Amino acid sequence: MENAQEVINNIQQNLSQKSSSKKDEVLVMKAIMNDPEYTVDVYKNDGNQKEYRPGKELRKVISNAIAAITNMPPKEAAALVQNYEFSKSDAATIVGVSKEFINSYLQTGRKLSLGGRENSDVELLWKDIPEKTISVPVKDGDQRTTAIVPKHGGIKAISPCPKWIKK
C-alpha cells in the first residue's frame, strides 16, 4: 500500500513544470484512497481543528454500499473492505467525479470552500467573464489589430489569510 504523503512529496521533488498531469492526479488519488492513515487537519475560524482521513471515509462508503446491497452485517462489510486495494481505474473514476462535482456545484452560484488547512483557507467561486475586445500585435511589424474574446466562464479562487494564523 502506497503512503499518500510520500507520493505527494515525490511529485513535488521531481516537478519540472507546473502544467497539469492526469497521470499525477490519478497517482495522488489512488494513494489517498489506499492509505487509510493519510490524515489532513481541517481548521475552523476559531482555530479548532479536526482530522479528516479521506481513505477511511471512502471505505465507509464502500462498506455501506456492500452492506445495503448484500444485506451483510455492517461490521462484516467493513472488515471485507479494509483489505481492498483501489485500482488505478478506480482512482481515475474518482478524479473525474470530483472534477464534475466542482464544476457542477460552482454552477449553482455558491462558493465552494475547500476547507481550512494549516496555512490556507481557500474558496472557489464561478465567475462569468464578459465579452471584450483586446488589442493584439500583428505577426510582422509594429502594427496591432483587435480581437474579440467571447463571453465565457471561469473560476475565481479566494484565499485570504486564515483567521487562525492571524491570532
pLDDT tens sequence across 44-65: 888 788 999 999 999 999 999 9
Report the first-to-last Cα separation within the chain, whole angstroms.
39
CA distance 1 to 56: 14
Q: Measured on CA atoms in the order 156, 116, 19, 21, is the torsion positive or negative?
A: negative
Domain of residue 12, residue span: 4-166
Cell of 78: 467493513
What's the pLDDT tens digit per position in 64-119? 999 999 999 999 999 999 989 999 999 999 999 999 999 999 999 999 999 899 99
Number of domains the chain contains: 1
Phi first, then psi, for residue 53 (nearest 5°) are: -120, 95
